[in-house]
Amino acid sequence: MQLGEEGVPIQVDGEAWIQPPGIIRIIHKNRMKMLCRNRALESSLKTWQEKQRQQQLLPRRSCTPQNLEFSAEETQLLLGFIEATATLIKCVKLLTLRHPTIKADLYELAVRCSDNLEKVHPGGKILQGIELRPLLTELVSTTRELHEEACLMLREKGPTLRIREDFENQLSNALSNMESEFRKCSVAVATETGQTLVYLIQPPETDEKKGGRGGRGLFWKFRREKGGGSSGRAGREVASWGVAEVGVWLESLQLSEYAEAFSRHDVRGRELLTLTRRDLKDLGITKVGHVKRILQAVRELAM
């Protein structure tokens, strides 16, 4: 209710007006839906963009019906991919069954991936013939989607799931091994049909592989130990991180855009623990919020 003789300026949505004395009835108080930031959607979009970028970086070659068949070497690589995929599917299914709070979509994706695996490896034997190549392509696509969704879920809900240590190590190793298998996948384009197909090629050995340590596995293990209050142990493990582990850590902070800068300057675990505000400036990180977030996370790493 507005009392008095003079009107007051009011603006609800659009152009303002002078409201004369009278009674104002508010109908939708506390009932309007407001837009809010969807961090899960942002993470999914970043994952999708990274997937598209990686697809563009994959080696491409043309293929003909003659080389749709699998060589002996590629068959051996396929067996490794099948084993890693089966392990990941098993771990994801167990995770969703033990933790009902995880969305059912992840379990359904694991089932779809399992169905595609059965088409490639029916009855425990690799399918023969040129039909295998398109089926492998579909399997790689669904397995990559399962891997990305599982990683996203663990980044968001990992600290609250209370996963048993032995199963956490098993799941971590499954995800890390799957990443290694994806590096063996290259994209090929059929010259006649233009269909995109997947070939398996042994990649050159990298320093990360020589180190024998999976980035995600180490990160998730550290998060569990941090929650358990093991003072000093986490800091010692962080000091042994490589560039890949630091990149995963940045991704967990939703600051993956700085992973390239950290890698270019060879920032490893030992350097990460001693980062200062000046160091971040030299790395090109100038946003106050990002600087504070990284410094706070570094302090937590050293606890």
pLDDT of res. 192: 64
Number of H helices, E strands in the chain: 13, 5
Name, of 30-44, 84-98, 189-203, the range with top average pLDDT.
84-98
Question: What digits encode the pLDDT tens for the residues 181-208?
Answer: 988 888 777 666 667 888 898 877 644 4
Q: Per-residue pLDDT for 215 more than 50?
A: no
Q: Give the residue-averaged pLDDT of 172-188.
A: 86
The two three-digit tokens of residue 277, written as one number: 């505000």
Angle, CA 43 vertex, CA 283 and CA 142 arms, to 5°: 120
pLDDT of res. 212: 43
Q: Per-residue pLDDT for 60 more than 60?
A: no
The domain locations on the chain are 65-200, 233-302
d(CA 283, CA 269): 16
Q: Does domain 65-200 have CATH number 1.20.1440?
A: yes
Q: Give the residue-averaged pLDDT of 87-115.
A: 85
CATH code of 233-302, in short, is 1.10.150.50
Q: Give the residue-averaged pLDDT of 230-236.
A: 52
Question: What digits encode the pLDDT tens for the residues 244-291?
Answer: 878 878 877 778 889 899 989 999 888 888 899 999 999 999 999 899
Question: What digits encode the pLDDT tens for the residues 13-24?
Answer: 678 888 888 777
Taking the C-alpha atoms of 199, 204, 205 and 207 in order, what is their torsion angle to the nearest 10 degrees?
Answer: -120
Average pLDDT, the chain: 77
Question: What digits encode the pLDDT tens for the residues 150-163?
Answer: 888 887 777 677 77
Residue 99 burial by CB count (10 A; 0-12/13-18/19+): exposed, middle or buried? middle
Of 15-19, 54-58, 76-80, 108-112, minimum mean pLDDT range: 54-58
d(CA 71, CA 53): 29
Angle, CA 50 vertex, CA 150 and CA 257 arms, to 5°: 105
pLDDT band at 227 (very low <50, low <70, confident <90, very high): very low
pLDDT of res. 262: 92
